[in-house]
């Protein structure tokens, strides 16, 4: 019985590898098509990328397949896998914080940003910190209400991000191109940080209840 | 025996949750410290972020712990978990291709980039596509030589990325701030795409041989 289970398991893994290779192929096609669209400012070509990436192969089924294993290990496996995902999200959050610090080091003793841009970045940093605090609470309490709250507070971060991009592209803005490059990257780092905290919340609720948090 | 294994397993999961919460706490501290450093252009504060994120808690041990499970499931589990990671990497690659296409749509009918910047982006796109092709081959053939090749070709992408950032920050560059913002983001998307292909290669080799590819 155990033997049969393990054989089935390995067949599934082989099948999974094949699907992964197809996903990779699709991603390669997508980036080439997107670059083509970029170079020719070709809208239909850009739309093609969305068609490509929206193909089911680039999303859920592989993961589901990876986890569609026989009871009784299935539930434990889902938990382990979710735990491992959480580790990735949280490491990535640390990595993004590091990117912010790297840009401070790169520009020292100058400020990376100034004026309103710096103010917006400071606010993004505060919201990002608050989001991490919330995510930590979700990890400790498994409270689905708090996990939903993460999404709402992340909207605030997205809003600040939009304001930052609008600000630096305003003709009235007096900053240099380097300042614009820095602000663009920093904004992106904070935005990604926030996205990861939201995902952490969703994963914790899935880990605890087995239910997907509604978006 | 099975019962005892499962109990041990759940104890480990609880312990893991606790460590995850600590990781989250650290990431939150790191982003706040980094923001502080950013706003005050404070180098020692920035260095503190590296100290924080280099703490072991933000790296391997959790994942190892998540996988330090009893034989005979340990090996199968590692495979499943690696498979799931691969799914994430490949989805993310698709997402990044989509970001490129989104920027084409946003600027249409104008070109997102022009001149030498567009040329560099086109080259980044070609390398990214080639990297995806290589990663696909690694997935299909499990060839460690090809996986190592991914790292080398990704260096090419990083080099193009640096040249792009240097170009747009050159005083001689005549592009607008918006063009600089776009080029900055696009460069970042391609760079991340390449990073993911390298990780895909490493994971495949780990999946097949159980050995980490030396960096």
Q: pLDDT tens digits for A176-204?
A: 999 999 999 999 999 999 999 999 999 88
Taking the C-alpha atoms of residue A96 and residue A193, their distance in angstroms, rounded to an integer, is 6
Out of A90-94, A121-125, B164-168, B192-196, pick the least confident.
A90-94
Residue predicted with more confidence, A24 or A73: A24
User: Rounded to whole angstroms, what are the CA distances from B93 to A52, A68, A130, B38, B125?
Assistant: 12, 24, 29, 30, 12
Q: Answer whether residue A206 shows pLDDT above 60.
A: yes
pLDDT of residue A148: 93
pLDDT, average across residues A40-47 = 88
User: Any alpha helices (H) in B41-72, and if so which ranges?
Assistant: 43-54, 60-67
Q: Which residue among B9, B95, B110 sits closest to A41, beta carbon to beta carbon? A: B110
Mutate to test the interface with A, among B10, B17, B27, B127 (most CBs of A within 10 A): B27
* Whether B210 contacts chain A with CB within 8 A: no
3-state helix, strand, coil in chain A (%, to 5): 85, 0, 15
The pLDDT, as a whole number, for residue B5 is: 52
Selected residues 56-95 of chain B with any CB under 8 Å from a CB in chain A: 58-59, 62-63, 66-67, 69, 73, 76-77, 79-81, 83-88, 90-91, 93-95
> What are the chain A neighbours of B87 within 8 Å (beta carbons)?
20, 23, 62-63, 66
* pLDDT attached to residue A8: 59
Instruction: Report d(CA B69, CA A118) in Å as an integer.
Output: 47
Question: How far does CA A178 lie from the centroid of its chain?
Answer: 26
pLDDT at A13 (0 to 100): 61
Query: For tokens 């614009």, what's the residue?
Result: A180
Residue A125 has pLDDT above 60, yes or no: yes
Cα separation, B120 vs B147, in Å, equals 25
ipTM of the complex: 0.83
* pLDDT for residue A60: 47
User: In this predicted model, which residue has the larger pLDDT, A163 or A84?
Assistant: A163
Nearest CA to A50 among A64, A29, A22?
A29
> B1-32 as b/e, with b when 16 or more CB fall inside 10 Å?
eeeeeeeebeebbeebbebbbbbbbbbbbbbb
**Interface contact flag, A184 B185, Cβ < 8 Å:** yes
B13 or A94: whose pLDDT is higher? A94
**Percent of chain A surpassing pLDDT 90:** 45
pLDDT tens-digit readout, A100-119:
999 999 899 999 999 999 99
The model's confidence at residue A2, banded by pLDDT at 50, 70 and 90, is very low
Q: What is the pLDDT of residues B108-140, one digit of tens each?
A: 999 999 999 999 999 999 999 999 999 999 988
Distance CA B133, CA B141 (A): 12
* pLDDT, position A1: 42
Please give the structure tokens belonging to residue B22.
């600590």
Higher pLDDT, A15 or B168: B168
Residue-wise pLDDT tens digits, B9-60: 566 666 666 777 787 888 888 888 899 888 888 899 888 888 887 765 555 4
- pLDDT, tens digit, for every residue of A144-168? 999 999 999 999 999 999 999 999 9
Q: How far is B174 from B187, CA to CA, in rounded Å?
A: 18
Residue A73 has pLDDT above 70, yes or no: no
């Amino acid at each position: 019985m155990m033997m049969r289970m393990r054989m089935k398991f390995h067949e599934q893994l082989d099948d999974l590898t094949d699907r992964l290779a197809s996903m990779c192929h699709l991603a390669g096609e997508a980036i080439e098509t997107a670059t083509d669209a970029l170079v020719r400012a070709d809208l239909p070509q850009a739309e093609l990328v969305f068609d490509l990436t929206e193909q089911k192969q680039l999303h859920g089924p592989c993961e589901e397949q990876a986890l569609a294993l026989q009871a009784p290990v299935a539930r434990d496996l889902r938990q382990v896998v979710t735990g491992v995902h959480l580790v990735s999200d949280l490491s990535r959050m640390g990595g993004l914080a590091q990117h912010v610090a790297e840009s401070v080091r790169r520009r020292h003793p100058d400020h990376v940003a100034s004026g309103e841009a710096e103010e917006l970045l400071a606010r993004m940093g505060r919201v990002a910190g608050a989001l991490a605090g919330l995510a930590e609470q979700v990890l400790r309490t498994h409270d689905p209400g708090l996990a939903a709250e993460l999404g709402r507070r992340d909207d605030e971060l997205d809003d600040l991000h939009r304001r930052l991009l609008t600000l630096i592209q305003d003709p009235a803005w007096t900053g240099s191109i380097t300042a614009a490059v820095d602000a663009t990257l920093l904004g992106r780092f904070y935005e990604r940080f926030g996205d990861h905290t939201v995902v952490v919340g969703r994963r914790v609720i899935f880990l605890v209840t087995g239910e997907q948090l509604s978006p």
